């Protein structure tokens, strides 16, 4: 009964928002910069030299995009500095020249850095919605030194690990800085049409007293469809991407060493023989819409270790972001509201293949791989376990997504994971429907079908998971169930909200996805109101709250929560947020814990160009999950981060995380510990850098040192040489020092992009 009443109240609340809110809505049709247009003209091939100097006469005849407006923190106000953008094209490239005037050029924030590391600087760029369907856009940004940053924009977020090939140069003058850009049509996907019409946003970011953003097209805060407000770029005729073949061969060498017993300083340190390996990736553009790629013996090792996460009191497998370029290209196609495809579950494939692109108005994505050492995440009612095995497996993922009017869509997603006679198959449909301008109904319904591995030696867990008597261990059982997520969302200038329902049956597993737990039905609500004060040190203030209830499939309450929160954006690039678990009740392994209250604060300060940082602090009650039976303890955790740029090409990134937990407030400590991580980068040129990562984890008493020297001709042609060193903190004595090296690896890699 309470569940139904909560649902009815939540729906009435979100649908009645318009009755309480009187908003001053901008009439976009009356604004000169509402969806502005520019007609691009064609120039002859090889007429433009990309050097940051607009000396070619073709630039004098180009139509200019100007009259920019300030969209952050101002609301479509006249821009305080002038920006002009010129565009032209030839058979091979789109050319763009950004002329960024500045009356205080000495105040530019600009650093020499690696690719995609320039977003705290001044930068300018373009978003290209090549299908003009408001679904996604290529992002290309550059700072005044010509450091490149790129990504893919979608309504679900930005994928900033995406890389593409293009040429750019920049030059700083006394009263302006100029970026000149050539984007090959071979780097883009676009419709097969004689005449093209693309959506285009042109954005300039200027961090000074505030982080100010200027836009060519006006952007209404009452319209959540950012791409639907883009300008129009037209005039392209008979563009031909052509069929493009790319080869990406690599060669790698490594040598690994280890101490036989990492806790005995005098035990022998063994060095294995030098190992060499090679592989190749093949990429073929079938058309301007569709690309296929296959890799044989791909090197999916990481040149930088994952940042350590404190998970001593966590009951779920740790989630790490994907960093491998093969999986990042086109990754947004496989996104859905539920994490069905988590590519790090393809751990060490012998070969992989994928097909990504668009056929008509349908986005298409297919991914497969043969894994030589398969990992598993096994979810249960109270958390999930992670296993690393040497089993061989075959994985497939298929994604189809049909565009509907505006930002609406309907899609299919399915995965198949086979290990011998066992399998895990997940399949379902999802979609989003936009109605009444500011409302969205988002949904995803999935079916789960599993036949387990029949070997409890791999995973033995006799916990019964359902009324049929199935257990969580690998004993060859067949499992199936249905679940999903459903939400009603309001997005507007001031009042935003969501009602959501999530369902995961006890039989649910996603072997090619990520799943922290199962066996729940959940209903929740989030509401927030955004205020933009005028003539104030506060630029934005947003109080909000979220709350909900979760039941397991036997009908018992698992969790109840109510969390009031706030977010404040100040001038001088300072923001603060915080919250309090006012209601936090949870059933953990049949022990019902009530009133597990705690609160937190978070602050970021980016006022200064040479140093930026922030801190997070949380204190209160925590469930002690690693003791049986569980109980409520007292603890706190803190995190601080500081990035220092003493030189324009030297960056020191520091992060410190601390957590302690006691049996009760002021009582016996159960554990205390911290992780410190420093990454120092020295950029010799835009392509050549030296990086050193140093990390100490007091929980594992381990010290990691990872130096790397890298040269990048482009995002895909790379040479690097480096090493990894793991030292155990075993304490000092008269016979040895405190740190003893237990593992190390030396490696070098060269890969080269060949375009045919």
pLDDT at 233: 95
- 624 pLDDT tier (thresholds 50, 70, 90): very high
| Count of beta carbons in the 10 Å neighbourhood of residue 239 | 21
Backbone angles phi, psi at 559, to 5 degrees: -150, 150
pLDDT at 1: 40
Query: 141 near 215, Cβ under 8 Å?
Result: no
pLDDT at 8: 39
- 212 pLDDT tier (thresholds 50, 70, 90): very high
- In tens, the pLDDT along 481-502 reads 999 999 999 999 999 999 999 9
pLDDT at 315: 84
Asked which of 640-649, 678-687, 735-744 is least confident by mean pLDDT, the reply is: 735-744
Of 213, 202, 207, nearest in space to 122 by CA: 207
Asked if residue 15 has pLDDT above 50, the reply is no
Residues 642 and 207: their CA atoms lie apart, in Å, by 18
pLDDT at 242: 61
What is the DSSP code (8-state) at residue 220?
Answer: -
Please, what's the b/e burial string for 179-206 (b: 16 or more CB within 10 A of its CB; e: otherwise)? Answer: bbbbbbbbbbbbbeeeebbbbbbbbbbb
Asked which of 8-12, 329-333, 618-622, 624-628 is least confident by mean pLDDT, the reply is: 8-12
pLDDT at 539: 95
Query: Which residues are bridge partners to 62 per DSSP?
Result: none
Cβ contacts of residue 533 below 8 Å, gap of 6+?
539, 540, 541
Distances (CA, A) of 95 to 41, 63, 98, 123, 330: 11, 12, 10, 18, 24
Query: What is the SS3 assignment for 17?
Result: helix
Query: What is the SS3 assignment for 11?
Result: helix
In whole numbers, what is the pLDDT of the chain averaged over residues?
Answer: 90
- In tens, the pLDDT along 625-671 reads 999 999 999 999 999 999 999 999 999 999 999 999 999 999 999 99
Cis bond upstream, residue 629 (ω within 30): yes
Residues 139 and 126: their CA atoms lie apart, in Å, by 6
The two most distant CA atoms of the chain are separated, in Å, by: 81
pLDDT at 199: 95
Asked if residue 741 has pLDDT above 50, the reply is yes
702 vs 30: which has the higher pLDDT: 702
Asked if residue 216 has pLDDT above 50, the reply is yes
Residues 476 and 358: their CA atoms lie apart, in Å, by 39
List the alpha helices (DSSP H) in 111-246: none
- In tens, the pLDDT along 529-585 reads 999 998 889 999 999 999 999 999 999 999 999 999 999 999 999 999 999 999 999
The DSSP annotation for 332-361 comes to GGG--SS----GGGS-SEEEEEEEEEEETT
Strand residue runs (E) in 69-145: 69-72, 77-78, 83-89, 93-101, 123-129, 136-142
Asked if residue 30 has pLDDT above 50, the reply is no
**Backbone conformation region of residue 242, classed left if phi is above 0, alpha if psi is from -120 to 50, else beta:** left
| Count of beta carbons in the 10 Å neighbourhood of residue 337 | 20
For the chain, percent of residues with pLDDT exceeding 70: 93
pLDDT at 13: 43
Query: 337 near 431, Cβ under 8 Å?
Result: no
Q: Token pair for residue 566?
A: 């706030």
Asked if residue 746 has pLDDT above 80, the reply is yes
pLDDT at 444: 98
Residue 161 CA, distance from chain mean position: 8
Query: 649 near 682, Cβ under 8 Å?
Result: yes
pLDDT at 204: 98
Residues 569 and 72: their CA atoms lie apart, in Å, by 11
Mean pLDDT computed over 469-475: 94
Asked which of 6-10, 154-158, 666-670 is least confident by mean pLDDT, the reply is: 6-10
pLDDT at 194: 87
What is the DSSP code (8-state) at residue 328?
Answer: H
Cβ contacts of residue 657 below 8 Å, gap of 6+?
310, 637, 638, 639, 674, 675, 676
Q: Token pair for residue 730?
A: 């075993």
Residues 273 and 253: their CA atoms lie apart, in Å, by 11
Backbone angles phi, psi at 8, to 5 degrees: -65, -45
Residues 8 and 535: their CA atoms lie apart, in Å, by 40
Residues 731 and 465: their CA atoms lie apart, in Å, by 44
pLDDT at 477: 96
Containing H/E element for 19? helix 17-20
Of 23, 408, 38, 24, nearest in space to 217 by CA: 38
Asked which of 4-18, 144-158, 179-193 is least confident by mean pLDDT, the reply is: 4-18
Asked if residue 710 has pLDDT above 90, the reply is yes
Mean pLDDT computed over 198-226: 94
Q: Token pair for residue 74?
A: 């101002």
248 vs 311: which has the higher pLDDT: 248
pLDDT at 238: 86
Cβ contacts of residue 57 below 8 Å, gap of 6+?
none
- Per the listing, tokens 């924030």 go with 109
Q: Token pair for residue 227?
A: 């791409």
pLDDT at 6: 41
pLDDT at 29: 35
Residues 1 and 92: their CA atoms lie apart, in Å, by 64
Asked if residue 262 has pLDDT above 90, the reply is no
Query: 251 near 276, Cβ under 8 Å?
Result: yes
pLDDT at 644: 97
Q: Token pair for residue 398?
A: 């298929």
pLDDT at 318: 81
- In tens, the pLDDT along 276-333 reads 989 999 999 887 788 899 999 877 665 665 666 777 778 888 887 787 777 877 788 8
Query: 3 near 551, Cβ under 8 Å?
Result: yes
Residues 615 and 564: their CA atoms lie apart, in Å, by 20
Backbone angles phi, psi at 227, to 5 degrees: -70, -25
- In tens, the pLDDT along 79-136 reads 999 999 999 999 999 999 999 999 999 999 999 999 999 999 999 999 999 999 898 8
610 vs 302: which has the higher pLDDT: 610
Mean pLDDT computed over 56-81: 93
Mean pLDDT computed over 447-471: 94
Residues 522 and 382: their CA atoms lie apart, in Å, by 14
What share of residues in the chain are helix, strand, coil (percent, to 5)? 5, 55, 40
pLDDT at 730: 80
Query: 194 near 236, Cβ under 8 Å?
Result: no
pLDDT at 19: 36
Backbone angles phi, psi at 612, to 5 degrees: -135, 155
Backbone angles phi, psi at 324, to 5 degrees: -85, 125
Query: 576 near 570, Cβ under 8 Å?
Result: yes
Predicted TM-score of the model (pTM): 0.86
- In tens, the pLDDT along 342-381 reads 999 998 899 999 999 888 889 999 999 999 999 999 999 9
Residues 588 and 704: their CA atoms lie apart, in Å, by 35
Query: 356 near 365, Cβ under 8 Å?
Result: yes
Asked if residue 185 has pLDDT above 50, the reply is yes
């Amino acid at each position: 009964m309470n569940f139904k009443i909560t649902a009815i109240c939540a729906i009435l609340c979100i649908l009645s928002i318009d009755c309480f809110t009187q908003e001053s809505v901008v009439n976009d049709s009356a604004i000169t910069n509402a969806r502005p247009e520019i007609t691009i003209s064609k120039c002859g091939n090889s007429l433009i030299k990309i050097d940051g100097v607009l000396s070619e006469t073709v630039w004098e005849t180009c139509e200019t995009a100007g009259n920019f407006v300030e969209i952050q923190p101002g609301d479509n106000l006249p821009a305080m500095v002038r920006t002009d953008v010129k565009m032209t094209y030839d058979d091979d490239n789109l050319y763009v020249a950004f002329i960024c005037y500045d009356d205080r050029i000495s105040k530019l924030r600009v650093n020499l850095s690696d690719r995609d590391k320039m977003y705290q600087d001044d930068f300018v760029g373009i978003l290209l919605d090549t299908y003009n369907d408001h679904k996604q856009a290529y992002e290309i940004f550059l700072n005044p030194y010509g450091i490149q940053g790129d990504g893919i924009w979608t309504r679900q977020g930005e994928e900033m690990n995406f890389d593409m090939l293009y040429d750019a140069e920049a030059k700083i003058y006394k009263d302006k800085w100029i970026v000149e850009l050539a984007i090959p049509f071979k780097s883009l996907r676009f419709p097969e049409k004689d005449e093209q019409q693309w959506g285009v946003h042109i954005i300039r970011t200027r961090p000074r007293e505030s982080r100010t953003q200027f836009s060519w097209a006006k952007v209404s805060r009452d319209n959540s469809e950012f791409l639907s407000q883009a300008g129009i770029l037209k005039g392209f005729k008979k563009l031909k991407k052509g069929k493009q073949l790319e080869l990406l061969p690599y060669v790698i060498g490594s040598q690994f060493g280890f101490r036989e017993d990492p806790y005995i300083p005098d035990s022998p340190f063994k060095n294995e023989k030098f190992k060499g390996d090679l592989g190749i990736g093949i990429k073929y553009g079938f058309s301007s819409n569709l690309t296929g790629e296959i890799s044989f013996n791909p090197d999916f090792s990481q040149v930088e270790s994952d940042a350590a996460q404190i998970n001593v009191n966590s009951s779920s497998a740790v989630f790490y972001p994907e960093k491998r370029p093969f999986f990042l290209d086109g990754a947004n196609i496989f996104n859905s509201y539920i994490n069905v495809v988590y590519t790090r579950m393809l751990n060490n494939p012998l070969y992989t293949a994928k097909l990504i692109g668009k056929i008509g108005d349908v986005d298409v994505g297919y991914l497969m791989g043969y894994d030589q050492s398969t990992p598993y995440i096994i979810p249960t009612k109270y958390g999930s376990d992670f296993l690393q095995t040497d089993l061989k497996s075959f994985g497939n993922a298929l994604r189809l997504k049909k565009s509907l009017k505006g930002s609406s869509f309907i899609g299919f997603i399915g995965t198949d994971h086979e290990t011998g006679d066992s399998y895990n198959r997940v399949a379902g449909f999802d979609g989003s429907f936009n109605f009444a301008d500011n409302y969205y109904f988002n949904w995803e319904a999935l079916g789960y079908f599993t036949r387990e591995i029949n070997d409890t030696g791999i995973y033995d867990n006799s916990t019964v998971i359902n009324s049929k008597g199935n257990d969580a261990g690998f004993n060859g059982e067949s499992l199936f169930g249905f679940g999903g997520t459903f939400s009603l969302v309001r997005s507007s200038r001031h009042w935003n909200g969501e009602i959501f329902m999530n369902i995961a049956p006890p039989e649910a597993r996603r072997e090619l996805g990520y799943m922290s737990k199962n066996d729940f039905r959940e209903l929740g609500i989030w509401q927030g109101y955004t205020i933009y004060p005028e003539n104030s040190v506060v630029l934005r203030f947003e109080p909000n709250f979220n709350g909900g209830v979760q039941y397991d499939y036997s009908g018992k309450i698992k969790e109840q929560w109510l969390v009031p929160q706030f977010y404040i954006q100040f001038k001088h690039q300072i923001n603060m947020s915080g919250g309090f678990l006012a209601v936090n009740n949870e059933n953990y392994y049949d022990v019902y814990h009530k009133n597990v209250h705690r609160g937190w604060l978070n602050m970021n300060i980016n006022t200064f160009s040479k140093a930026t940082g922030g801190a997070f602090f949380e204190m209160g009650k925590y469930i002690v999950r690693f003791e049986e039976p569980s109980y409520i303890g007292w603890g706190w955790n803190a995190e601080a981060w500081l990035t220092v740029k003493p030189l324009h090409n030297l960056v020191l990134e520091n992060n410190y995380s601390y957590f302690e937990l006691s049996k009760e407030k002021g009582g016996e400590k159960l554990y205390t510990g911290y992780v410190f991580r420093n990454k120092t980068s020295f950029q010799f040129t835009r392509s050549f850098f030296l990086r050193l990562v140093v990390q100490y984890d007091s929980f594992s008493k381990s010290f990691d040192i990872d130096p790397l020297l890298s040269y990048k001709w482009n995002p895909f042609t790379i040479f690097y040489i480096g090493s990894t060193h793991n030292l155990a903190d075993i304490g000092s004595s008269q016979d040895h020092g405190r740190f003893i090296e237990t593992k190390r690896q030396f490696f070098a890699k060269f890969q080269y992009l060949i375009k045919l």
